[in-house]
Amino acid sequence: MTKSPFLESVRQEIRTMRYSIKTEKSYLWWIKGFILFNDKKHPNDMGNHEIERFLNHLAINRQVSSATQNQALCAIIFMYKNVIQREIKNLKYGFTKRDRAIPTVLTHEEAMQIIGNLKDKYWLIASLLYGCGLRINEALKLRVKDLNLADNTLFVFRGKGRKDRYTLLPKSLNESIKNQIEKAKLIHHKDTCEGYGLTSLPPSLIRKYGHAAKDFSWQYLFPSSIRCEHPHDGYICRHHIHETAFRKQLRQAVLKTGIAKRVKAHTFRHTFATQLLLNGTDIRTVQELLGHSDLRTTELYTHVIGSRFSHTISPFDRKVI
């Protein structure tokens, strides 16, 4: 398939600015969609009118969420600013304000019930999400070197906002983690015997670390079942399992419980935060464990547990004297 020279120039600019692979795929998808929607006109020959038509189409015909519409606009603005080198001004439609929703949380019993319906590595992934307050991509990107079973801490490398942090590692998971490490070691041993063994690293780091990337400590805790070509640097490596695999297993586990809540991987992180607050953990500590830059983000969980209304009695519960 012939690659579009223009889209390849966008890709190069995204990689030069060190955006993630996920962002790269998303931006290219939206930019391609924008071009196709406007009858394959070159973006250099388009402007505000075409951008507004596309956003209007997304909002009215596609009925996308405000977050999705913002993502599309981000991609288009990036393209014009960094590739075409033209500022887009005075758009009729700007970035839409996202609804600030109170997150869905589980009780401890509900969380453990769902986790109990998962097996093997999926059970361990869900346990780490709940027990450590991780995002799903943070759990899947864990490398063997990030786990400290001696003092029960876990290192999160380049979490959201490219921030590093430490968080809790439940002692009760030590045995399961050791078993998973042994499984990862067997896969890595097979790779090295077959002349491979390199792990997937962020772009260009293979030049810095070289064959150190074959060390077992750098391998993912949850390695993929197949080897692949690195999307940036082209070497054969082993990545971590894809989050869609976990999503499928989680969906089945939730259905088995009959719990009438919309449960996603991120729900375990929300539940981790609320359980800490319910058990008296200081909100600043919760903020640090979650890796929030702004305390107001963490304070949202106080609304979830209803601490503002803890001494308020519903009129329905008042006794008639």
Mean pLDDT of the chain: 89
- Catalytic site includes residue 11: no
- Note the pLDDT of residue 228: 92
Domain boundary among 29, 54, 84: 84
Active site (annotated) includes residue 25 = no
pLDDT at residue 205 greater than cutoff 80: no
Q: Is 292 assigned a catalytic role?
A: yes
Are residues 12 and 109 located together in one domain of the fold?
Answer: no
- Residue 209 above 80 pLDDT? no
Instruction: Quote the CA–CA distance of 132 and 50 in Å, as a whole number.
Output: 45
108-116 vs 265-278: helix axis angle to the nearest 10? 140
93, part of any domain? no
Note whether 214 and 73 are same-domain residues: no
Residue 212 has pLDDT above 90, yes or no: no
159 plus 204 within the same structural domain: yes
Span 32-76, pLDDT tens digits: 999 999 999 999 999 999 999 999 999 999 998 888 999 999 999
More confident residue, 297 or 53: 53
Among 84, 110, 145, the domain-final residue is 84
pLDDT at 201 over 90: no
Instruction: Assess whether 79 and 22 both reside in one domain.
Output: yes
Predicted local distance difference test score (pLDDT) of residue 100: 66
Q: Are residues 78 and 107 in the same domain?
A: no
Domain that includes residue 64, residue range? 5-84
Residue 161 above 60 pLDDT? yes
Give yes or no for a contact between 62 and 71, defined as CB atoms under 8 angstroms apart.
no
Same domain, 128 and 60: no
Which one of 41, 158, 160, 284 is the catalytic residue? 160
Asked if pLDDT for residue 176 goes beyond 90, the answer is: yes
Same domain (yes/no): 79, 185 = no
Count of beta carbons in the 10 Å neighbourhood of residue 160: 13
What CATH number does residue 70 fall under? Answer: 1.10.150.130
State yes or no: is 135 an active-site residue. Answer: yes
Residues 113 and 173 in one domain: yes
Of 173, 103, 94, 184, the closest CA to residue 143 belongs to 184
Q: Is residue 315 assigned to a domain?
A: no
Instruction: Give the 3-state secondary structure of residue 98.
Output: coil
From 266, 270, 296, 303, the catalytic residue: 266
Q: CATH number for the domain including 210? A: 1.10.443.10
Q: Are residues 106 and 76 in the same domain?
A: no
Residue 267 located in a structural domain? yes
Residue 312 has a pLDDT of: 57
Question: Which of 40, 55, 84 delimits the end of a domain?
Answer: 84
> Can 227 be counted among the known catalytic residues?
no
Residue 120 clears pLDDT 70, i.e. is over it: yes
Quick check: is 122 catalytic? no
Q: Can you point out the beta strands (E) in the chain?
A: 147-148, 153-156, 165-168, 228-229, 236-237
Same domain flag for 65 and 136: no
pTM attached to this predicted model: 0.80
Helices (H) and strands (E) in the chain, counts: 13, 5
Residue 309 in this model has a pLDDT that exceeds 60: no
pLDDT of residue 8: 93
User: Is the confidence at residue 139, as pLDDT, over 80?
Assistant: yes
Structurally, how many domains does the chain consist of? Answer: 2
Domain-located, residue 52: yes
CA 209 to each of CA 82, 163, 184: distance values in angstroms, whole numbers, following the listed order: 30, 21, 21
Identify whether residues 278 and 209 lie together within a single domain: yes
Which residue is catalytic, options 135, 141, 143, 270?
135
The token pair that represents 230 in the structure block: 């690195």
